[in-house]
């Protein structure tokens, strides 16, 4: 009797320690998932399916088999607590790219007509000269995803990619093309190829992201400085086809975007208001598994976009409201 009581007590303690709820989003901190491990979803992107958010990114945990590249998937109902759904891609070199081949910045789109989840990612050789997008497909959001093909969108070099889904559901890919700038292209109806160029913005930016807010498109990106942070910039346009305004800093330039690099802007439309979240990576190139996430609600509207100094905050995804709070995860 005493033995079983002790066992029950230990199980209870284990359950409350592993399922501790995060109450806040704390930019730059360790973000424990439902297992208590730091979230591994670097260079990532988020889609919402019904009331569930899925976050995909580069899995860079220590001890992975170096032959493979991994994409992780996490799910959440509140954007604050993330359940690890597994590595939905575990891929060996698909096209004889050689040692150090690269799979970065995965983004997933759900195609309503084919009912397929279509993942785009940057596929490259170690020296970043292959410069293509890869596509992998799944029947379910949480995989597994099967590699289909790679290509250069509209025959252009493509390195960092970003994802944008407009309010009418149209899916766009953003990709960086060193010599020319960055492209915003519309995906074909089945999302398995690129249909049309919307804009070629003559600005050398990577980590590209777009949001449509109150009738205006805002595009952001970072300069081409490898893993090192730099002052990210934004421009606006009334149409995805441009013309785009001049680029301006999104934060005090000396902070180098608070040591981060953009990966996506996520619009949370609630019953009371809308919050646009700046999602960025704080890379640690020599300890990638410990790279952190800087997510912050943006000040946005009337053609202006501004990232305030990061601090803990919380969001109510139902109402769309956010507020700044004390660090109550501790």
Please report, to the nearest 10 degrees, the dihedral formed by the alpha carbons of residues 293, 118, 200, 197 taken in order. Answer: -160
Query: Closest CB to ligand DGJ among 81 and 263?
Result: 263
Rounded to whole angstroms, the Cα distance separating 123 from 108 reads 15
Residue 160 binds to ligand DGJ (criterion: CB under 6 A): yes
Query: Closest CB to ligand DGJ among 76 and 163?
Result: 163
Rounded to whole angstroms, the Cα distance separating 74 from 55 reads 5
Rounded to whole angstroms, the Cα distance separating 96 from 76 reads 36
Q: Which of 27, 43, 57, 221 binds ligand DGJ (CB under 6 A)?
A: 43
Number of H helices, E strands in the chain: 2, 23
Give the residue among 105, 197, 103 at the shortest CA–CA distance from 147.
103
Q: Which of 45, 207, 208, 310 binds ligand DGJ (CB under 6 A)?
A: 207
Rounded to whole angstroms, the Cα distance separating 235 from 245 reads 5
Provide the minimum distance between the beta carbon of 38 and ligand DGJ in the complex, in angstroms, as a whole number. 19
- For the window 218-247, what string marks contact with ligand DGJ as x by the rule CB under 6 A? --------xx--------------------
Composition of the chain by helix, strand, coil, percent to 5? 10, 45, 45
Residue 59 binds to ligand DGJ (criterion: CB under 6 A): no
Total number of residues that touch ligand DGJ (CB under 6 A): 9
Provide the minimum distance between the beta carbon of 15 and ligand DGJ in the complex, in angstroms, as a whole number. 37
Query: Closest CB to ligand DGJ among 225 and 319?
Result: 225
Maximum Cα–Cα distance across the chain:
75
Q: Taking CB under 6 A as the criterion, which residues in 96-155 touch ligand DGJ?
A: 104-105
Give residues in contact with ligand DGJ (CB under 6 A): 43, 104-105, 160, 206-207, 226-227, 261
């Amino acid at each position: 009797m005493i033995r079983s009581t002790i066992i029950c007590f230990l199980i209870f303690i284990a359950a409350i320690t592993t399922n501790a709820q995060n109450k806040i989003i704390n930019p730059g901190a360790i973000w424990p998932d439902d297992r208590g491990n730091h979230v591994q979803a670097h260079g990532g992107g988020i889609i919402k399916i019904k009331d569930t958010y899925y976050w995909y990114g580069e899995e860079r945990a220590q001890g992975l088999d170096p032959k493979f590249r991994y994409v992780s998937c996490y799910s959440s109902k509140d954007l604050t607590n993330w359940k690890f759904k597994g590595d939905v891609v575990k891929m060996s070199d698909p096209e004889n790219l050689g040692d150090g081949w690269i799979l970065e910045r995965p983004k997933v789109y759900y195609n309503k007509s084919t009912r397929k989840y279509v993942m785009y990612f940057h596929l490259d050789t170690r020296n970043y000269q292959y410069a293509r997008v890869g596509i992998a497909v799944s029947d379910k959001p949480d995989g597994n995803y099967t590699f289909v093909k790679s290509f250069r969108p509209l025959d252009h070099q493509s390195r960092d990619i970003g994802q944008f889904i407009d309010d009418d559901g149209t899916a766009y890919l953003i990709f960086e093309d060193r010599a020319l700038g960055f492209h915003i292209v519309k995906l074909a109806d089945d999302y398995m190829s690129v249909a049309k160029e919307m804009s070629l913005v003559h600005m050398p930016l990577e980590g590209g992201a777009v949001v449509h807010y109150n009738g205006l498109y805002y595009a952001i990106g970072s300069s081409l400085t490898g893993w090192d942070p730099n002052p990210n910039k934004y421009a606006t346009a009334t149409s995805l086809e441009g013309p785009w305004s001049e680029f301006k800093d999104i934060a005090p330039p000396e902070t180098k975007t608070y040591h981060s690099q953009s990966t996506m802007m996520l619009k949370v439309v609630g019953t009371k208001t809308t919050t646009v979240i700046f999602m960025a990576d704080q890379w640690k190139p020599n300890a990638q598994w410990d790279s952190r996430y800087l997510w912050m609600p943006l000040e946005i509207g009337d053609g202006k976009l501004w990232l305030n100094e990061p601090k803990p905050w919380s969001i109510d995804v139902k109402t769309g409201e956010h507020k700044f709070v004390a660090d109550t995860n501790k």
